[in-house]
Structure 1
Amino acid sequence: MVTTTTIDPATAVVPPKIRAATASKTRVLRAVYAVSAFVLVAVIWELVKVLVPADGVSIAGTRILPRTTDAALPHVWSVFTVLGEADGKGTVGETLLRTGMFTLGLSLLALLLGAVVGVALAVAMQRFGWLERGLLPYVVLSQTVPLIALAPLVAAWGGKLSIGGEPWRPWMSIVVIAAYLAFFPIAIGMLRGLQAPSAASVELMRSCSAGWWATLSRLRFPAAVPSLIPALRLAAAAAVIGAVVAEISTGTAGGIGRQIIVFSQQATGDASRLYAAVLAAALLGVVLTALVGLVELALRRYSHPPGTSASNDR
């Protein structure tokens, strides 16, 4: 009599070498997908330039396809070649690099501030059920406030403050505004992760005389990592968007947001500089998301914590 053994892939132990090879292959595939997506967008861009009339396409007086002149939609290669053109004390590329680094620094500070606020709110809401029921709706509602309307208010309020005798700097308003967008996904993702451990896991910790802090640090925090990492990625993109919008709304010079306004005013016959600035702003989100990837590598052993389920047990 022949007996067969069924191995559950979910519980099978994967050798470290195979796991490392699989992770390396996954990273390569992600890079290939990213490059392929960029090439696809560039091809579609050029096809639009070729196939769509210069004045666009209108039906019954309503434009359904945009103009494709160089003033409205430059060639892809024009966006890159313009980086070598002279602009003030240097080239367009040097200007975008300088302003981009300024905005990247503010976005990173905003992400850190948003992470601190978001994690603190999530821990408080997980600890006290009444606080979650009362506060969570307002956390969600806060994201419906238009950022372009909030930015001047934050700048005006900040101008009346001082920290340790030091006056409020304009860049501080940008950090606060960007953190306002960044904290939301972190708070929601972290709260979901903190509530992930099953009731049996929580009871096991209690049976071992573990207090609230021990349960939080040894069970809930590790279980929250798989939810926290995607939330940090979303927050990174939101921080860049918030910083760029805040620079435009408050009129703060030195960042990529203000540079977009400058290039838009110069885009009379050729919009290549404007598109180059927009592309540079988009790349800031990619860079900040890559930094979040470093955090993911540091916490990779918590990527799939055992014994978790969607439970709200406290």
Structure 2
Amino acid sequence: MTSSKSTALAARIERWPIAGSFTISRGAKTEAVTVVAQVARDGHIGHGECVPYPRYGETPDATLAALLSMQDPLGRGLDRQALQAAMPAGAARNALDCALLDLEAKISGRRAWDLLGRPAPRACTTAYTISLGSPEAMATATAKAAHRPLLKIKLGGDGDGKRIAAVRKSAPESELIVDANEAWTSKNLERNLAKCAEAGVTLVEQPLPAGQDEALARIRRPLAVCADESVHDRVSLEGLRERYDAVNIKLDKTGGLTEALAMADAAHALGFEIMIGCMVATSLAMAPAMLLTGQARFVDLDGPLLLARDRDDGLRYDGSLVYPPEPALWG
């Protein structure tokens, strides 16, 4: 029998249909596959959600197994601070880290940000993603979203100059940020950056493959460049200072909110601008990331807007404004 001080763990894989499809340079998908961790103690239950990412060798089944392997340590009293060394950074630790923080908040009757000594998050503007496609298809999708103040445009390499020009024509007033998802090369890097600058793009995310991005230090960058796949946690920050102007912090990369908050502080100290990003997932995955939005120049937490439906008690979205979570959802 579980004692009143031990923590019981459950986890499950969930599948959430995407509204249409979501396409980036690495391919398209029609559903978001998430893994949810649930921790219970003293009659309270905490929840956390993650998205295993094949780009980093993660699968839903392996993530589920990694979570369930933590039952015994949790039963012996493993807490959120000890978790940071007990599991490697990644999706599984993210789900458990956020679930434990949610549990702490529910047991204490306080909000998560108060427990962490952080400012309460406020409503903020999130980017809205336009999937990769032909210039014509992207122009059509952009026209439907042109009322949104911030658009994130997925690009894919050759032909990106035509794509971003078509997008800009369809959304003349929106601020544009671009995500190439490692699809550019050293040969087309400067040309594509120039085309983005011509279109008034504010920032380009991860143009070159991680580990092959040294060209960014050798050129004059006409606009800000943000690291995504090249940056995961605090350890990876120092080596990026000559190549990038900003970093994209995602909880699935950092292994949870605990490391993400520390990483945001470290990134600011090193002079990086910050983007808070997400995978396509439900509001349960977005909610902890709201605690980082006050430090971010760009917020990209539109995952639930790309789904056919969100979970109950999801975040409130009013156009492109996203509001902090209610306790019934998380924290």
Common fold: TM-score over 0.5: no
Greater share of strand residues, 1 or 2?
2
Greater share of helix residues, 1 or 2?
1
TM-score using structure 2 length: 0.25
TM-score using structure 1 length: 0.26
Which has the greater radius of gyration? 1
